[in-house]
Structure 1
Amino acid sequence: MEPNITIVGLGAGDAGHLTLAGWQALQSKRPLFLRTAVHPTVEYLTKSGLTYRSFDHLYDQVDSFDQLYPRIAEEILQETEKGPLTYAVPGHPRVGEKTVEILLAEAGRRGLTVDVIPGVSFLEAMYTTLGLDPSRGLTVLDGLDLKASDLAGRQGIIITQMYSPLVASEVKLTLMERYPDEYRVTVIRAAGVSGEERVETIPLYQLDRLSWVDHLTSVYVPPKGEGDGADQESPAEEVERESGAQSTADRFSSGKYPLDPLVDVMFRLLGEGGCPWDREQTHESLKPYLLEESYEVLEAIDLKDDSKIREELGDVLLQVVFHGVIAQQEGRFQIGEIVQSITEKMIRRHPHVFADISVADSKEVLVNWEAIKAQEKGEKVKSPSGIDKVTTALPALLRAEKLQKRAARIGFDWVDWHGPREKVREELAELVEAIDSGDKRHIRDELGDLFFAVVNLARFFQVNPEEALHRTSDKFIRRFRYVEECCRREQKNMTDCSLEEMDKYWDEAKAQGL
């Protein structure tokens, strides 16, 4: 009886890697589906007159491979309702093929029959290229799910799925937890494919600097004792031996990490065949995201959560790179000019560090900064205030604070905090009068004056008004949730509780320090 699904391995990338059984299955009259048409053997199928349908369009519709593979498998299973079919995948169907794994499990549950026809996998091709005998011991790992704990032991390792510089960077960082920076690894692209195979042995630290890494790329890590520098103890192993500390990537905390992988990813997303949503974005459409990500950094800092700070800073960096790549694609400026410009500016504005200028304290640093800034803009330096240079795009509290600081630099300021305190009282009294008058425009103006006065008072006590208001909002949330919980314990909705009851719960929350 003909199986519902015939799965064929297309081999490592050369038409000669197809088995006779596989070629016969591909030529059958059954509908032919390919996981991807981005594979060297597919060109031979096309030239041979075979017609097929690939699932490449799904790659841009999902956020991760965890979503992609089940979706492909489900579409294949749905197609079996129309009749038997052939499904072809790169390499060997049982080597690193998640869709096949899912199909076999689900077909068994649904009572469908499956025939798997092998193909020469990239592993066999690599054995030949590298002169390896796997019977001596070899570990095969997925680069998309690589952990330092996977690297135990002293046998050779082949790491698959190293399909982009970004993945290569992640693989490199993980390997560096167990291997020295200079450890020699071999990168293989299109193993066994005539005219396309490329092999290069490099130090581990250069792993993410190869421009030709793509979906046909794997890396071979030789057994310890065979790579250059293998007799050296890796930094992580040295830490573990001397202090028993966990093998983390702490050693990178003071090192440099290239921006190139992120830039490469953005060029890929914004290029032909990239992400439709990303390609629709402009400087204007991205403005809300830059502001949102910046505020999330502030939130992470308030939480004192280093992991979240790192993550949110990465999101802000993504926005910078996003804008830079858009500008470069439009021919406005090169993304490298962003780094070059700010680097030159920081050196130029810190002559007390990079030149022979002396300063007495941080206040003098600020005076010099404003003077240098004015010279850069070709302005005549008369005053460091530049009050008209405070951007209107800032949040209102922050803008008010900056205006006051600028004015204070030229002496337009209160002597001490008593002045702004009295100003708050004065503006509050004027607000009360405005409220009594019932004039909404007057009320709005007096509220603005009161806010401005409060910001001034905060400045004298070195309190960030944005942060202070955020903390009060957080406090309100904590106490409000307490009131909600009290109402629930009484088996009441908040709308059923009287204001007196809710005030009592609120006072309880306040007494508890919430």
Structure 2
Amino acid sequence: MGAVITVVGLGSGDPDKLTLGSLKRLQDAEERYVRTKDHPVVQWLEETGVAFTSFDDVYEANDDFPSVYEEITRHLISLAGSAPDGREILYAVPGHPMVAEATVKLLKERCPEAGISLEIIGGESFLDAAFIALGFDPIEGFQLLDASSLTEADVDSRRHTLIGQVYDVFTASDVKLSLMESYPDDYPIIVGHALGVQGAEQVLRVPLYELDRVEGYGNLSLVYVPASSDDQLRIRSFERLHEIVAILRSPGGCPWDREQTHQSLRKNLIEEAYEVLETIDEDDPDHMREELGDLLLQVMLHAQMEEESGMFTAYDVIQTLNEKLLYRHPHVFGDKSAKDAEAALGNWEAMKAEEKRRKGIDPEQLSALSGVPRDLPALMKAYKLQKKAAKVGFDWDSMDGIWAKVEEEISEFKTAVENGLDAGEQTLELGDLLFSVVNAARRIGADPEEALSMTNAKFVRRFSYVEEQLREAGKRPEDATLKEMDILWDQAKELERAAKGYKNR
């Protein structure tokens, strides 16, 4: 049979709202515990001779609430485990046992494992009093959030929002900062203290920025954020972005956006990606934020086109990405380990190969060069092809072989030009030369695309200096001689060296 833990809800704080059944169980129990005595109903019961053993000392002995709830749960299960069969251990909690009561949640999980029966007797929840005192109908859209774990992502401005567990001004301050990510500083907020408790109830209306200046926070406090239909409050949400893109593509939306196809936007996707890269090179966070948004728009437009055809939605894209990230990081979300970046990459590649097997593709039967996107920029594609070939041993033993190959290709390119071969042949020889230089870059651990980008940026800086100096002299580049521009170019080079602390050489 075993011992029984009976959990009784004490209600929101008004003794008159205790049911007769609950009162009788509280009065008749031989062994009574209460999570905290800081509750009006407990004080009233003790005045009538119903005494409790509280867990208030557990709060004082622990640094955080999860530790408190764990210790209370362990203690109750230990008491029940050592009690005679059929013995009842009554445990009283504020409000309703199934509403925002962490210890009851833990008891529900662990009592069956310990062979202990658990009975739950409801009580008036703080929600009942809140609906009356605050005057809203939850069917309009309602969410209950925990102040201790509140984040911006939890908040939906379209729903009435109650935030519980606001025990003190420090918690209220954290709530305020989270809400300010979505709401203006002066957004009207309501603080409720002891709702439903006659003579103690307080309903205070304050602007958001004053939330942590309100006095009286305690176990019976909550914060209410009224619902709003103002779409500006959702301007940071992914859902709003999804709606905006759908509207742009709708019959009443933008004519240009409606006409676009995957093919027509193909070049835009590439251009936006390169504009993001430019902001990275410029180390310009503000510009990067804007350009990342433009790149995200391209993703959303392509996903919206597929949603219109019924193939998939933007949320399917997110699901696929999340599943991939979870699966390919077993050292973070699974039971594998990775001591460094190389080991993490190994896990990634192993899980990637397993994904192929699940799709009926044998990785062993694929070309060593598979997986390189067809439309990568040629320099980047050459680099990736060579890396893949090197993994299976198709590589020079040392840099000597690479230098010899570069020199050979220079000679062949030079010969093709000097002998006046047709443009196609000259172009092919030039490609061979570039390919061999990419190989040299790979062997020294340099990304050729990045290296050329750095040189392009350097060329722009130095040529801009030449133009500026000529302009100050009343000239344009087309009016100057090559010798004049060469002198200015060398000046720009020396200025850069000096700025970096290099000596002339």
TM (normalized to structure 1)?
0.51
2:412 corresponds to: 430
Give yes or no for contact 2:380–2:449 (8 Å, CA) kept in 1.
yes
Secondary structure at 1:415 match in 2: coil
After superposition, the Cα gap between the structure-2 partners of 1:346 and 1:207, relative to the gap in structure 1 and judged at 3 Å, is closer
Decide whether the 8 Å contact of 1:271 with 1:279 is kept in 2.
yes
Residue 6 of structure 1 corresponds to: none
Give the C-alpha shift of residue 483 in structure 1. 1.7
Q: Which residue of 2 aligns with 1:470?
A: 453
Aligned to 1:274: 253
Gaps of at least 5 residues in structure 1 are 1-129, 132-164, 170-178, 184-202, 209-218, 235-256
5 Å-filtered alignment, 1:182-221, equals: 221=188
Equivalent position of 1:406 in the other structure: 388
- Matched residue, 1:338: 317
Q: CA 1:370/1:426 → structure 2, altered by over 3 Å: closer, same or farther? A: farther
Structure 1 partner of 2:433: 450
Structure 1 residue aligned with 2:464:
481
Matched position secondary structure for 2:324: helix
Give the Å deviation of 1:379. 1.5
2:477 paired residue number: 494
Letter of the structure 2 residue corresponding to residue 307 of structure 1 = D
Give the secondary-structure state (helix, strand or coil) at the position aligned to 1:382.
Answer: helix
CA RMSD after TM alignment = 3.6
Q: Is the 8 A contact 2:328 2:348 kept in 1?
A: no
Identify if the C-alpha distance between structure 1 residues 358 and 204 changes in structure 2 by more than 3 Å, giving closer, same or farther.
closer
Tell me the alpha carbon deviations over residues 101-146 of structure 1, each in whole angstroms, 9 at most, x when there is no partner.
xxxxxxxxxxxxxxxxxxxxxxxxxxxxx99xxxxxxxxxxxxxxx
Distance 1:471 1:483 in 2: 19
Alpha-carbon distance in 2 for matches of 1:260, 1:205: 19
Q: Distance in 1 between matches of 2:415 and 2:299?
A: 48
Tell me if the contact between 2:412 and 2:429 (Cα under 8 Å) persists in the aligned partners: yes
Count of aligned pairs: 294
The CA deviation string for residues 474-494 of structure 1, in whole angstroms up to 9 with x for no partner, is 111111122222222332232
- Paired residue secondary structure (1:233): helix
1:421 aligned to 2:403?
A: yes
Secondary structure at the counterpart of residue 466 of structure 1: helix
| Residues 263, 333 of structure 1: alpha-carbon distance in 2 compared, 3 angstrom cutoff | same
**What CA distance in whole angstroms lies between the structure 2 residues aligned with 1:317 and 1:462?**
31
CA contact (8 A) 1:435 1:443 kept: yes
Shift of 1:233: 2.9
Q: Describe how 1:237-316 pairs up with structure 2 within 5 A.
A: 258-316=237-295
Structure 1 vs Structure 2: percent identity of aligned residues? Answer: 41
Give the match's secondary structure for 2:263: helix
* C-alpha contact 2:368 2:392 (8 A) present in aligned 1: no
Residue type at the aligned position of 1:326 = M
1:354 match: 333
Deviates more, 1:346-355 or 1:402-411: 346-355
Letter in 2 for 1:322: L
Distance 1:229 1:496 in 2: 64
Select the residue among 326, 329, 332 that pairs with 2:305. 326
CA distance in 2, matches of 1:493, 1:451: 34
1:350: how far off? 2.5
The 2-side partners of 1:484 and 1:166 are apart by 54
Distance across 2 between alignment mates of 1:512 and 1:206: 45
More deviation, 278-287/382-391: 382-391
- For the structure 1 residues 370 and 204, does the alpha-carbon distance in structure 2 shift closer, same or farther, using more than 3 Å as the test? closer
Partner of 1:84: none
Q: Output the CA distance in 1 between the equivalents of 2:294 and 2:271.
A: 10
Give me the whole-angstrom Cα distance separating, in 2, the residues matched to 1:316 and 1:429.
43
C-alpha separation in 1, matches of 2:156 and 2:294? 16
Letter in 2 for 1:444: T
Q: TM-score, normalised on structure 2?
A: 0.52
AA in 2 matched with 1:464: D
> 1:166 and 1:303, CA in 2 relative to 1: closer, same or farther beyond 3 A?
farther
Output the CA distance in 1 between the equivalents of 2:474 and 2:335. 72
Question: Measured at CA, do residues 180 and 358 of structure 1 come closer, stay the same or move farther in structure 2, by a change above 3 Å?
Answer: closer
How far the C-alpha of 1:232 sits from its partner, in A, is 5.0
Mapped to 2, the partners of 1:435 and 1:272 lie a distance apart of: 57
Cα 1:348/1:315, change in 2 over 3 Å: same
Instruction: Describe the superposition over 1:454-504 as per-residue Cα deviations: whole angstroms up to 9, x where unpaired.
Output: 111111222121111111111111111222222223322322222222212
Task: Please identify the structure whose Cα radius of gyration is greater.
Answer: 2
Relative distance call for 1:353 and 1:289 in structure 2 (3 A) is same
- Secondary structure of the 1:387 match is coil
Deviation of 1:226 (Å): 2.4
Residues 346 and 433 of structure 1: CA distance in aligned 2, closer, same or farther (over 3 Å): same
Q: How does 1:368-379 map to 2 (within 5 A)?
A: 368-379=350-361
User: Could you tell me how far apart the structure 2 residues matched to 1:448 and 1:300 are?
Assistant: 29
Structure 1 residue 264, shift from structure 2 partner: 1.2
Q: Is the 8 A contact 2:331 2:344 kept in 1?
A: no
User: What do residues 372-412 of structure 1 show as CA deviations (whole Å, max 9, x unaligned)?
Assistant: 24324422232786413322211101111111111122222
Do the aligned residues in 2 keep the contact of 1:385 with 1:410 (CA within 8 Å)? no
State the alpha-carbon separation in 2 of the partners of residues 411 and 448 from structure 1: 23
Counterpart amino acid of residue 424 in structure 1: V
Letter in 2 for 1:437: N
Q: Deviations over 1:197-220 (max 9, x none)?
A: xxxxxx958979xxxxxxxxxx96
Gaps of 5+ in 2: 1-133, 136-154, 160-171, 192-203, 214-235, 498-505
